[in-house]
Amino acid sequence: QDNRISIWSAGDLGNVGLNGEYQGEPQLLCDIRHNGDVMDMQFLDQERIVVASSTGTVTVFRHHQNNQTLSANQRWEKAHYHVDQDTCCGGAACTGVICNNPEIVTVGEDGRINLFRADQKDAVRTIDNADSSTLHAVTFLRTTEILTVNSIGQLKIWDLRQQRNEPSQIFSLTGDRVPLHCVDRHPNQQHIVATGGQDGMLSIWDIRQGTMPVSLLNAHEAEMWEVHFHPSNPDHLFTCSEDGSLWHWDTSTDISEKTSFLHQGGRSTTYFSHNTINQSVVSAWLSNDPTKDRMEITNLIPNQTLSVNSLDILGPCLVYGTDAEAIYVNRQLFA
C-alpha cells in the first residue's frame, strides 16, 4: 500500500568476498513516498529519475546529492488513462518508460504512447490509440524512433518524426499472440533486437528483414520479465523470469576455447544451436558460421525459487530484484 522510491549506495569494489558477494551492507541514502505501484523507472541524468506508476502518473524525482534527499521535480498526472483524464479513478497503469535526455517516452495499459520533454509541462506528442492492446515495454531504436512490445505478441517501430499515428513497421511472433513483456536493442548493431514474453522464450529479431524473429531460443519456464544486452559487451545478454532464474547468454567466443572455463563447479551450462541462418550478418546473435553457432548459458541463481522481476547491468556489475523483497548485487560477472 505504501510504496517508496529509494536511492542506495552499494559501496566500492574493495569489499568483495571470494564468491563475488558484496561484503558489508548497502546504505540507504534517501527515499520518498510514491503513489501507486512502481511499474518502471530510469535515470534521466545524474540526478533525475523518471518513474512510471500504476496510477498512470509519470513523475520525475530529483536526487539532491548535497543533502541526500529526494523531491518530486515534475509530474505528469494521469499520463495514461482509460476513460478520460479528469475522472478520479480512470488512471491506466504506465507500464514502461525510457529516457534519452531530455526526451522521455512512456507506454501504458491504455495503448497510449507519450513523448515528454523534461522541463516541459505538456506532452510534446501523444499517440492516443497507438495500440488496441496493452503496451508492456518501450525502448529507443535511435534518437527519433522507438520500439514497443504489446500483449498480443507484436513488436512495433514508431518514427516520432512522422505525424501519422501508425507504426512504421510491425513484427510478430507467429500465430500464438503470446504477450511480449520486454524488449532491448543491441547497443552497437541497432538492427538486432531481443524480446521476451509470457512463454519464457527469447526471441532475436533482425528488423532489416522479415516480420518474424530470426531465432527463438528456449529459455525460461515462466514469464520473462526483462531482457538486457550488456551495454559495452553485447555478446552477453541477460534475462530474468517469474520462474526464479536469471540467465547469462554468452556468444562471445567459440566453445572449444572455453573448455577450461566450463569445469567450474556449481554452474549449469546448456548449449543451443542456432537453426536460423542468415548469410550477410556478422553478429554472433545472427551467426551462420558453424564454429560459432553455439552459445553458453549459465543460470546465475540456480537455487532461487521466487520471481526475478528486474535486472540491470553495468561493467562487471549485475543488480536484480526479486519477490523475496530483496535486491542483489553481483559484482564479478566476468570473473
Q: Can you give the CATH number for the domain in which 88 is found? A: 2.130.10.10
* 313 and 183 within one domain: yes
Q: Which of 230, 215, 186 is nearest to 275 (CA)?
A: 215
CB 287 within 8 A of CB 272: no
Q: What is the pLDDT averaged over residues 183-212? A: 93
Residues in the chain: 335
* 122 and 62 within one domain: yes
- Which residue, 172, 193, 222, sits at the end of a domain? 172
Question: CB-hemisphere CA count at 13 Å for 253?
Answer: 8
Lowest mean pLDDT among 81-95, 228-242, 277-291, 314-328: 277-291
User: Which residues are CB-neighbours of 121 under 8 A, at least 6 positions away?
Assistant: none
Burial (CB < 10 A; 0-12, 13-18, 19+), residue 42, is middle
Tell whether the model's pLDDT for residue 129 goes beyond 80.
yes
**SS3 assignment, position 298:** strand
* 210 and 100 within one domain: no
CB 239 within 8 A of CB 226: yes
Q: pLDDT-based confidence at 23, cuts 50/70/90? A: low
Q: pLDDT-based confidence at 87, cuts 50/70/90? A: low
* 195 and 318 within one domain: yes
Tell whether the model's pLDDT for residue 91 goes beyond 80.
yes
* 220 and 122 within one domain: no
Q: pLDDT-based confidence at 307, cuts 50/70/90? A: very high
| Residue 103 CA, distance from chain mean position | 18
pLDDT score recorded for residue 210: 83
- pLDDT tens, residue by residue, 171-182: 998 777 899 999
Q: What is the pLDDT averaged over residues 236-262? A: 75
- Which residue, 128, 145, 172, sits at the end of a domain? 172
In single-letter form, the type of residue at position 73 comes to: N
Tell whether the model's pLDDT for residue 202 goes beyond 90.
yes
Cell of 204: 532475436
- β-partners of residue 41 are 51
Phi, psi of 118 (to 5 degrees): -55, 140
Q: Residue 274 falls within a domain, yes or no?
A: no
Strands ordered across the beta sheet of 135-142: 135-142, 145-150, 154-159, 169-172
Q: What is the pLDDT averaged over residues 119-143? A: 94
Q: Which residue has the higher pLDDT, 283 or 55?
A: 55
* 141 and 41 within one domain: yes
pLDDT score recorded for residue 271: 38
Alpha-helical runs (H) found in the chain: 259-262
* 142 and 65 within one domain: yes
Cell of 333: 560477472
Q: How far apart are CA 249 and CA 272, in angstroms?
A: 10
Domain boundaries, position 301: 174-252+296-334
* 188 and 142 within one domain: no
Lowest mean pLDDT among 90-104, 160-174, 246-260: 246-260
Query: How many domains in the chain?
Result: 2
Tell whether the model's pLDDT for residue 261 goes beyond 80.
no
Q: pLDDT-based confidence at 268, cuts 50/70/90? A: very low
* 188 and 127 within one domain: no
Task: Write down the pTM of the prediction.
Answer: 0.85
Q: What is the pLDDT averaged over residues 315-335? A: 88
* 112 and 46 within one domain: yes
Cell of 7: 536511492
Q: pLDDT-based confidence at 131, cuts 50/70/90? A: very high
Q: Residue 10 falls within a domain, yes or no?
A: no
Tell whether the model's pLDDT for residue 139 goes beyond 80.
yes
Q: pLDDT-based confidence at 279, cuts 50/70/90? A: very low
* 154 and 39 within one domain: yes
Task: Give CA separation, 164 vs 78, 108, 128, 155, 243, in Å.
Answer: 23, 19, 11, 18, 40
Q: pLDDT > 70: what percent of the chain?
A: 82
* 241 and 122 within one domain: no
